Structure 1
Amino acid sequence: MSDQDADLRRLAEAHGVYTQFHTLDGHEQIATPDTLRALLTALGVPAQSAADLREGLAALTSPGAAGALPDERILLAQTPNALPLPAPCAWALIDEHDAIAAEGRGTDTVNLPGLDIGYYTLTLTAADWRKEIRILVRPLRAPDHAGSTGLDRCWGVTGALYGLRSDQNGGLGNYADLGTIAAGLGRHGAQFFGINPVHALGWAETEIISPYSPSHRGFFNCDHIAVEGGLGPTPDDALIDYPAFRRMHRTALEGQFAKEKGTPAFLDWCAAADAETQSFAQFEAISETHGSDPRDWPALARMPGEGAEELAGARAQFHLWLQFQAQKQIHAAQDQAKAAGMGLGLYLDLAVGPRPDGAEVWLNQGTIAKGVTIGAPPDQLSPEGQSWALAAHAPTALAAAMYMPLRKILWSLMSTCGLLRIDHALGLMRSFWLPDDGSPGGYITQPYDALLAVISIEAARTGCVVIGEDLGLVPDGFREKMQEAGLYSYAVWQFETDASGQVRDPASLPEQSLACFGTHDTPTISGFWHGVDIEWWRRVGWIGAPERSARHSTRAHQRAGLRHAISLAPSAQFDQVREGIHGALANASSSIVAVQLDDMLDVSDAQNLPGTIDAHPNWRRRLPVSINGVEDARDIAATASLMRRGAGAR
């Protein structure tokens, strides 16, 4: 290794870039110099020349009293704390409303009183130096489900909002349908109804349908807005025709806006909307005439501000109205769910990141990492690895902004629901970035403790329960620290196996977790049992005939293990298998249990096949029954009865 490469690796390690990591099969992957340079550049650290490296390494040693102090401290609420000082100074603690929460002068320590949860800035001032320290004051633990449900263990249902059928949605499930189906399931005893993300996808991006490829995660998808008078019944087709639906739906939205744009309720909402909401609406308006990618817009609008406001013009009011409608309808769905007996109500999902051409990136250019996107190395969900084509917030820049972009997104979602799932929560500790220049991907260290603090602060403020989806290559200590903060783990039973590949006894699943058999990215019970996912892997070319046979053989072994786990004879019919799996989940050790609508209704195909776009009908499949019949459907009633006797009865 050359001296320059050694310096590059030292600089990378100092800035949290992994110089090596272990793959799923245990192989040690060494990061290439090209990868290290690309990831350092994305973090805002020059690393192209030997001079860059020397200067970068020299900058790591900060002389003086200020350099000896941390940039951030995380404290527990209502717990006094002493911060050691390198020299005497005056200090003032400023809260998030710019008010002085405490102040004084310290000789060798700053003695902070017990503080309410929230975000503070500690300013230290001496004659020849000054330092600002971020202070995050978090609760001991985030809220638990028992506080909302009154139950030691609870159960709920998950399903695809877009796939709901009704007599008025015209082809795509909407927020009115969401309230209806949640209420129906609530009357069966379910404590929550979970859906895929409902983030804004972008008005001008007419081809985007994946809920995990949002424009902005803090605003809502207008495709799901229920229009006045409805759009007629859902077509009989099994798959959604998004272009046809959007043409019809958007025409109806325009007509309704023309009638309602002057109503007092909407105008009052606009007057109270913050600057980010106004700017989001301007982004949407500009995108209609100048395209979906702001990097191609006129120079005056490439950043939020007066130029963007001028270019957006009066059309921005339409996009404000869309958000007004979406927020109103989602809150109404939550109210409907709670009124029907759901202790938690809606269970929403936070996607990993926004698209690089989306509104979230445009609004937060100061915190976005440049020249990289987020992905994942090969794992059990995708053998080829995944490029998610999503932008990442750079850790240091996000921290310097007091985590405000994340805080706003969390508040928007948590104030709407009772349960929030954080997709790919492993990214809270380390994130896999793929350089745009084609260099191999690598891991970036994230400020895990601080991100957990932000999540728990926002969860405490809203009373929201949080699930961290922790599938994949799990770093040592990740789950323990997440659960210590009060977040729930995510136990997908078909992945919970022993050394021989057999599924574990459900009684051994983590107590502080949400347990389910599968997710939108995995085979359904029927798909798993019949090997439908294996056939899809063969169809898209990921495996050949020999591996297909080997996987079917392994699956037969897994089926035998499942039969043993749920005490079923080899001759048992599939209906008995499905009932046995749900019964085992109902009595699992996990304190929260979720069953999928797809499994209750015996659907075979998964909602999504990770790593594909058009090769599999991702995000297009409709449920086989209407929401009007869900509450009375025999299979749903039978599953609900099982769950009530197990998880919901304790």
Structure 2
Amino acid sequence: MMSADVKLQALARESGVYLEFRNLAGQKLEAEPPTLRALLGGLGISTATDAEVSEALAESQASRHGRKLPQELVLEAGSSTSIAVPTRCDWSIVTEDGDEVQTGTSSTAISISDLPVGYFLLHAAGEGWAEDLFLMSPPSHAPNLSETAGSNRCWGVCGALYGLRSRTNGGLGNYSDLGVAAAALGRSGAQFFGINPIHALGWAAAETISPYSPTHRGFFNTDHLSAASDLGPGPREELIDYAEFRAMHRAVLETEYAVFAQKSSEAEQAEFRAFCEASGEALNDFATFEALSEKHGEAFQRWPKALQAPGRQSQLEAGERATFHKWMQWRAEEQIGAAQQSATSSGMRLGLYLDLAVGPRRGGAEVWTNGNTIAEGISIGAPPDHLSPKGQSWDLAAHAPNKLSANHYQPLRSMLGSLMNKCGLLRIDHALGLLRSYWLPDDGSPGGYVSQPFEALLAVIAIEAYRNGCVVVGEDLGLVPDGFREGLNKAGLYSYAVWQYETDDQEQLVAPQDLRPFSLACFGTHDTPTMAGFWHGIDIDWWREIGWLNSNETHDRHGVRAHQRNGLRRLCELGANMDTGRIGDTIHAGLAGSQAAMIAIQLDDLFGVTEAQNLPGTINQHPNWRRRLPVPIEQFPVAASPARLRDLMPTTRNSIHENEQKGLEPCPK
């Protein structure tokens, strides 16, 4: 007879909870019973007593052995397969809209073939049994550059939307600015313009400014709405005062909505109603949450019990105020769509490059509206490593894989469709989460890993990307399990290569020719030091100022950085007296000479900015998400930095020999 702990481990194994994992040092860490119970609880499995563990294990095994058909199946579009059945049965396959596409009667196996890209439900019924099987039929791969941009290589620019300056935005970059900036960069030859996540942050979340802490990833940030009236130029200060801007901006939005509600034409009202109808219950629930949050606070767990889930009572309480939030989402979708149109009209083949954050805030709208798929009692984060000895808790919610599967991945499908409809390129942050997710229990137990349905999630991503003609990048930085990148790339997702993270055993930066070919490569991101900051070790000084490094550690890190600078000097033949602007051009030329499919250049680097947009692991110790760009968008067309990009990285991508002819120092193979 199995002991209680052995049964608990068996249940965890059945449910996809890791019994052990290895940390960055290679040490094996075993999940203790409190962790296993907490993570199983997150999956909705009760394990408070040994009797509950025994019962849950028996139910899991009975369900697995008792089914006649798999619960779900990934079948590449146009291919065929056979599914064994135990008895004679009648079966049919229907689309999402309920249209029947295949039907038959089978005695030993159901034969399926030639399904188009999409989602389907197979229903089979025999004597004494009836079951459904969810079918995902992805393309052979997500769209690639050749199919979408007409070339297997391209380059683009990334920057902070909130940091864009203009004569009219009042102090925070908006969606109209986005279109203007993208068009200017497109005319310089860029094929995409990447920005920070633009997920909804929440009307009542007064302190939230991080784009990676959204209330809902399927709706858009209204801080970036362009007002119909001119808000005037923003303050000259480098840092954004969100409270000041929001007070001014929201008063304008309230006035504009009042005018719309009272004086808009019937045609405009009809267009808004059509948008609301097409957006369905998802928009209705989101707007209800936003209206309720204004009355009861940003975290729904502290609301009256009757309002802690969508429903009739919540809608009644929200009242007409919900319409205001629907109107803002309508405006946001229109403006983002217009920005994408401006980008592509300027010559950008891909246009906007958007970002899908890891997860939503635990008290926010996405959790409130998806109570049937959210993992309870846990947050997602990262295990202890050399950068964070105690690990990291991101205070973000996770969708439980078993619940997500039971609901046919609808929350993910909806989010991806919403974003991919507005861009030509999408980055999925922390793509390792498609394979496994690190969960931290609320009860204080150590964290542990939970498996994710990798094949099914890749299928959903590929289907939604195919439907929207969107290229996908999976952020796969750091150490990843064997075969993970190969799985991503086989599904058509490009890898992500940040050059300043790509080092050898001696902590030297690798040659650009060693950057992964099927990837989007860049020197840095919003989470890393800028090129000037890297060169001068500004990030190391910040770590010392915050107290993360002592004097000796600071000295050692500056020594490593000097070692890396010398390596770059050798790789790119940098002269001893070059200024950082020329150094930046030469490093960018090195990226241009790599084999990476896509190259991304940071606006901060183009304009010589020293300080980083974000310092990971900090909240108030560093001015994260607040830095404005030094160059207003009106000057982008004539600014020297974007103008020289056409020569530095033309659409056809220079060879190293061509760069030499332009006087740019090459990075040797």
Length-normalised TM-score, structure 1? 0.97
**Shift of residue 473 of structure 1?**
3.3
1:266-317 residue CA offsets vs partner (Å, 9 max, x unmatched): 2443344311111211111111112212222233322212111111111111
Q: Quick one: structure 1 residues 475 and 161, their matched pair in 2 at CA, closer, same or farther if it must change by over 3 Å?
A: same
1:340-380 residue CA offsets vs partner (Å, 9 max, x unmatched): 00000000000011111111111110000000011112457
**Shift of residue 161 of structure 1?**
0.2
**Shift of residue 4 of structure 1?**
2.5
Q: In structure 2, what residue type is equivalent to 1:513?
A: S
> Which secondary structure state, in structure 1, belongs to the residue aligned with residue 568 of structure 2?
helix
**Conserved in 2, the CA contact under 8 Å of 1:381 and 1:521?**
no
Q: Quick one: structure 1 residues 428 and 230, their matched pair in 2 at CA, closer, same or farther if it must change by over 3 Å?
A: same
1:123-170 residue CA offsets vs partner (Å, 9 max, x unmatched): 221112222111110100100122222222100000000011000010
- Partner in structure 2 of residue 131 of structure 1: 131
- Partner in structure 1 of residue 44 of structure 2: 44
Distance 2:638 2:386 in 1: 37
- Partner in structure 1 of residue 509 of structure 2: 503
**Shift of residue 640 of structure 1?**
4.0
Q: In structure 2, what residue type is equivalent to 1:621?
A: R
- Partner in structure 2 of residue 185 of structure 1: 185
> Which secondary structure state, in structure 1, belongs to the residue aligned with residue 62 of structure 2?
coil
Distance 2:162 2:386 in 1: 26
Distance 2:75 2:387 in 1: 37
1:291 aligns with 2:297: yes
5+ residue gaps, structure 1: none
- Partner in structure 1 of residue 589 of structure 2: 583
- Partner in structure 2 of residue 106 of structure 1: 106
**Shift of residue 56 of structure 1?**
2.4
1:54-93 correspondence to structure 2 within 5 Å: 54-62=54-62, 66-67=66-67, 69-93=69-93
Query: Which of the residues 355, 360, 364 maps onto 2:361?
Result: 355
- Partner in structure 2 of residue 392 of structure 1: 398
1:527-568 residue CA offsets vs partner (Å, 9 max, x unmatched): 111111111111222221111111111111111111122122
1:51-450 correspondence to structure 2 within 5 Å: 51-62=51-62, 66-67=66-67, 69-261=69-261, 262=264, 263-264=268-269, 265-379=271-385, 384-450=390-456
Comparing 195-204 and 139-148, the one that deviates more: 139-148
Distance 2:171 2:417 in 1: 30
Distance 2:653 2:386 in 1: 28
Distance 1:648 1:256 in 2: 49
Q: Quick one: structure 1 residues 420 and 183, their matched pair in 2 at CA, closer, same or farther if it must change by over 3 Å?
A: same
- Partner in structure 1 of residue 536 of structure 2: 530
Distance 2:48 2:174 in 1: 50
**Conserved in 2, the CA contact under 8 Å of 1:291 and 1:297?**
yes
Distance 2:319 2:74 in 1: 43
Q: In structure 2, what residue type is equivalent to 1:104?
A: G
Q: In structure 2, what residue type is equivalent to 1:87?
A: T
**Conserved in 1, the CA contact under 8 Å of 2:69 and 2:83?**
no
> Which secondary structure state, in structure 2, belongs to the residue aligned with residue 647 of structure 1?
coil
Q: In structure 1, what residue type is equivalent to 2:619?
A: I
Q: In structure 2, what residue type is equivalent to 1:148?
A: T
**Shift of residue 119 of structure 1?**
0.9
In the TM superposition, structure 1's runs of 4+ consecutive aligned residues that sit over 6 Å from their partners are none
Q: Quick one: structure 1 residues 307 and 633, their matched pair in 2 at CA, closer, same or farther if it must change by over 3 Å?
A: same
- Partner in structure 1 of residue 617 of structure 2: 611
Comparing 502-511 and 45-54, the one that deviates more: 45-54
Aligned length: 649
Q: Quick one: structure 1 residues 217 and 648, their matched pair in 2 at CA, closer, same or farther if it must change by over 3 Å?
A: farther
Distance 1:117 1:258 in 2: 44
**Shift of residue 66 of structure 1?**
4.5
Comparing 244-253 and 540-549, the one that deviates more: 540-549
1:482 aligns with 2:469: no
**Conserved in 2, the CA contact under 8 Å of 1:216 and 1:358?**
yes
**Shift of residue 381 of structure 1?**
6.7
Q: What is the CA RMSD across the aligned residues, in angstroms?
A: 1.7
- Partner in structure 2 of residue 638 of structure 1: 644
**Conserved in 2, the CA contact under 8 Å of 1:583 and 1:646?**
no
**Conserved in 2, the CA contact under 8 Å of 1:377 and 1:432?**
yes
Query: Which of the residues 451, 469, 472 maps onto 2:475?
Result: 469
1:572-618 residue CA offsets vs partner (Å, 9 max, x unmatched): 43233211110001111101110000111111111111111111101
- Partner in structure 1 of residue 9 of structure 2: 9
> Which secondary structure state, in structure 2, belongs to the residue aligned with residue 37 of structure 1?
helix
Distance 2:172 2:98 in 1: 45
1:560 aligns with 2:533: no
Q: In structure 1, what residue type is equivalent to 2:123?
A: T
1:175-233 residue CA offsets vs partner (Å, 9 max, x unmatched): 00000000000000000000010000010111100000000001000000010122110
Distance 1:415 1:523 in 2: 32
**Shift of residue 636 of structure 1?**
2.6
Q: Quick one: structure 1 residues 407 and 603, their matched pair in 2 at CA, closer, same or farther if it must change by over 3 Å?
A: same
**Conserved in 2, the CA contact under 8 Å of 1:189 and 1:648?**
no
Comparing 639-648 and 113-122, the one that deviates more: 639-648
Comparing 467-476 and 220-229, the one that deviates more: 467-476
- Partner in structure 1 of residue 464 of structure 2: 458
**Conserved in 1, the CA contact under 8 Å of 2:276 and 2:283?**
no
Q: Quick one: structure 1 residues 245 and 234, their matched pair in 2 at CA, closer, same or farther if it must change by over 3 Å?
A: same
Distance 2:84 2:350 in 1: 43
Q: In structure 2, what residue type is equivalent to 1:123?
A: H
Distance 1:555 1:237 in 2: 31
> Which secondary structure state, in structure 2, belongs to the residue aligned with residue 26 of structure 1?
coil
Distance 1:617 1:368 in 2: 32
Distance 2:23 2:125 in 1: 47
Distance 1:286 1:52 in 2: 37
Q: In structure 2, what residue type is equivalent to 1:245?
A: F
Distance 2:508 2:130 in 1: 59
**Shift of residue 69 of structure 1?**
3.1
Q: In structure 1, what residue type is equivalent to 2:139?
A: P
**Conserved in 2, the CA contact under 8 Å of 1:385 and 1:611?**
no
Q: In structure 1, what residue type is equivalent to 2:468?
A: T
Identity %: 52
Distance 1:313 1:60 in 2: 43
Distance 1:444 1:19 in 2: 9
5+ residue gaps, structure 2: 659-669
Distance 2:38 2:286 in 1: 30
Q: Quick one: structure 1 residues 271 and 450, their matched pair in 2 at CA, closer, same or farther if it must change by over 3 Å?
A: closer
**Shift of residue 648 of structure 1?**
6.9
- Partner in structure 2 of residue 625 of structure 1: 631
- Partner in structure 1 of residue 663 of structure 2: none
**Shift of residue 382 of structure 1?**
5.2
Distance 1:14 1:564 in 2: 53
Q: Quick one: structure 1 residues 281 and 224, their matched pair in 2 at CA, closer, same or farther if it must change by over 3 Å?
A: same
**Shift of residue 434 of structure 1?**
0.9
Comparing 255-264 and 194-203, the one that deviates more: 255-264
**Conserved in 2, the CA contact under 8 Å of 1:376 and 1:432?**
yes
> Which secondary structure state, in structure 2, belongs to the residue aligned with residue 349 of structure 1?
strand
Q: In structure 1, what residue type is equivalent to 2:464?
A: E
Q: In structure 2, what residue type is equivalent to 1:510?
A: R
- Partner in structure 1 of residue 661 of structure 2: none
> Which secondary structure state, in structure 2, belongs to the residue aligned with residue 292 of structure 1?
coil
Distance 1:466 1:575 in 2: 31
Comparing 452-461 and 86-95, the one that deviates more: 86-95
Comparing 343-352 and 100-109, the one that deviates more: 100-109
**Shift of residue 63 of structure 1?**
7.2
Comparing 626-635 and 168-177, the one that deviates more: 626-635
> Which secondary structure state, in structure 1, belongs to the residue aligned with residue 354 of structure 2?
strand
